[in-house]
Amino acid sequence: MAENRDAAEIQAAAEQGAAAEVLAAAAQGAGAEVQAADAQTTEAVQPRKLLSVVVSVYNEEEALPLFYREAGKILDLCGWDYELIFVNDGSVDRSREILYQISKDDPKVRVIHFSRNFGHEAAMIAGIDHASGDAVICMDADLQHPPAMIPEIVRRFTAGYDVVNMIRLSNHSAGLIKNITSGGFYAVINFVSGTKFEKNASDFFGVSRRAADVLRQNYRERVRFLRGYVQSMGFLRTNLEYEAADRAAGHSKYSIRKLFRFSMNTIMSFSDLPLRLGIYAGAASAIFGLLLLIYSLVEKVRHGAPNGYTTIIVVICFMFSVLFLLVGIIGQYIGILFQEIKARPIYLVEETVNFPEKQGE
Ligand code: UDP
Ligand code: MG
């Protein structure tokens, strides 16, 4: 079929060849006008683009109504159609009821209720999975990610960018300890991993549909660092700075312990340098041992007696601590492998509200 059509087209083109040349000159002038008119019609006919805003919610009963009011006002004016996807990550306060209420009155609000708490990252992934927009923005429910930035993010999408990284200018509310540990974390991960991570990038970011598709299809690890994927997957990227506000209400859901575990997992899922530490430590201790051997032999020849108890104790303690550290690191990696092999679901949906039929689960 296709071949026949091709052949017919070629023949027709050959017959028209001479005439076409004559017409070409005339058409050139008119062509520009026709093209412009075409562009106008397509623009008029094209439906408005759809923006999906994904908001992770864990015990945000106080912040939710504020967020909804604030974000709604701005989204109504952003120039795109929108859907506001709240992912209720197993909240145990009144967030669930509030979300029922909001989604009952506003069809643009869609809600995914998890069966339990799966964590912020899982919530963002679920939101992206369920989003049907031409672009997706992820943000927190506590108004630390100012909805006022949305129109600028939308402008970047319109300009053709695929990834909009939001860079936090300052974070007063995080506190000194969190700021220091976060600085340390980025120093380590940038040192050990091939990817360069933006220090102040946040879980506030925007991705175009094709970038979101990559997240939906290719980054399905159990131990994840979504922000890292967004920064390392390439495409046309742009950075946008914002001033992090104080939490609108409630308190932070990330404890230092949670953050530490998260940081360790992230470093290990983005780098295998810690695994190779064993080789470096082995080489270093071999050199050290050799020097010690030479020293002991020289001492034996010169004084005829074996040297010091202290040296032995120090060396044994040091060697054992290195050994245990390395075993621990290997254990961590095996733990990650174990999780990936089990391939348990990243999240479990208990209920979805206001999603078009095909997306309900
Ligand atoms: N969050 C979540 N699941 C969790 C912890 C937090 O969905 O297990 C949400 C939380 O409701 C908020 C966002 O993730 O919208 C960021 O959390 P939080 O503000 O507590 O973190 P911080 O801004 O202090 O780093
Ligand atoms: Mg916050």
Distance CA 204, CA 47 (A): 27
Instruction: Tell me what percent of the residues of the chain surpass a pLDDT of 90.
Output: 31
The half-sphere exposure of 326 on its side-chain side, counting CA atoms within 13 A, is 15
Distance CA 346, CA 223 (A): 9
pLDDT at 186 over 70: yes
Average the pLDDT over each of 62-76, 113-127, 345-359 and give the range with the smallest value: 345-359
Atom number in ligand 1 closest to CA 252: 20
The mean pLDDT of 83-98, rounded to a whole number, is 93
DSSP secondary structure letter of residue 61: T
pLDDT band at 306, cuts 50/70/90?
Answer: low
What is the end-to-end Cα distance of the chain in Å, rounded? 41
pTM of the model: 0.70
Closest CA to 85 of 128, 33, 43: 128
Residues 143 and 160 in one domain: yes
Q: What is the pLDDT of residue 174?
A: 63
Q: Which domain holds residue 233?
A: 50-271+346-360
Cβ proximity of 253 and 141 under 8 Å: no
- Pocket of ligand 1 contains residue 99 by CB under 6 Å: no
- Pocket of ligand 1 contains residue 162 by CB under 6 Å: no
Residues 24 and 169 in one domain: no
Q: Burial, 44: exposed, middle or buried (Cβ in 10 Å; 0-12, 13-18, 19+)?
A: exposed
Task: Note the pLDDT tens digit of each residue in 202-227.
Answer: 889 999 999 999 999 888 887 878 88
Distance CA 268, CA 272 (A): 6
Provide the CA 41 distance to its chain's centre, in angstroms.
37
Residues 139 and 210 in one domain: yes
> Which residue has a Cα nearest atom 22 of ligand 1?
252
Cβ proximity of 204 and 227 under 8 Å: no
CA distances to 31, 60, 117, 278 from 87, in Å: 50, 11, 11, 42
Ligand 1 centroid distance, CA of 242 (Å): 18
Ligand 2 centroid distance, CA of 184 (Å): 20
Q: Over the chain, what is the mean pLDDT?
A: 81
Distance CA 252, CA 60 (A): 10
What total of structural domains would you count in the chain?
A: 3
CA distances to 106, 134, 170, 231 from 211, in Å: 28, 10, 27, 11
Ligand 1 centroid distance, CA of 313 (Å): 48
The mean pLDDT of 38-51, rounded to a whole number, is 66
Most confident of 2-16, 31-45, 50-64: 50-64
pLDDT band at 19, cuts 50/70/90?
Answer: very low
Tokens of 223: 């131990």
pLDDT at 41 over 60: no
Atom number in ligand 1 closest to CA 140: 15
Residues 191 and 244 in one domain: yes
pLDDT band at 92, cuts 50/70/90?
Answer: very high
Residues 42 and 92 in one domain: no
Phi, psi of 220 (to 5 degrees): -110, 30
Question: How would you classify residue 271: left for phi > 0, otherwise alpha for psi between -120 and 50, otherwise beta?
Answer: beta
User: How many other CB atoms are there within 10 angstroms of residue 241's CB atom?
Assistant: 11
Residues 267 and 324 in one domain: no
- Pocket of ligand 1 contains residue 58 by CB under 6 Å: yes
Residues 107 and 2 in one domain: no
Residues 167 and 250 in one domain: yes
pLDDT band at 315, cuts 50/70/90?
Answer: confident
Ligand 1 centroid distance, CA of 338 (Å): 26
Residues 35 and 56 in one domain: no
pLDDT at 251 over 50: yes
**More confident position, 270 or 151:** 151
- Pocket of ligand 1 contains residue 56 by CB under 6 Å: yes
Local structure of 112: helix, strand or coil: strand
Residues 83 and 24 in one domain: no
The half-sphere exposure of 157 on its side-chain side, counting CA atoms within 13 A, is 26
Q: Residues 185-218, buried b or exposed e (16+ Cβ, 10 A)?
A: bbebbeebbeeebbebbbbbbbbbbebbebbbee
Residues 37 and 125 in one domain: no
Residues 129 and 188 in one domain: yes
